[in-house]
Structure 1
Amino acid sequence: MCAYAGNQRLAGVRPRRPGPPPPLDPDAPIPDDPGPLLPDDPDDLPPAPHEPSPYTEPAPETPETEPEPV
Structure 2
Amino acid sequence: MFNDAVATERYLPAAILQAEGALSARLDVDIREAAETLRAIARDTGTPLVDVARQVLAGRPPAD
Please, what TM-score do these two structures have when normalized by structure 2?
0.21
Larger Rg: 1
Please, what TM-score do these two structures have when normalized by structure 1?
0.20
> Relative contact order, CA 8 A, sep 6+: which one is greater?
2
- Judging by fraction of residues, say which structure has more helix: 2
- Judging by fraction of residues, say which structure has more strand: 1
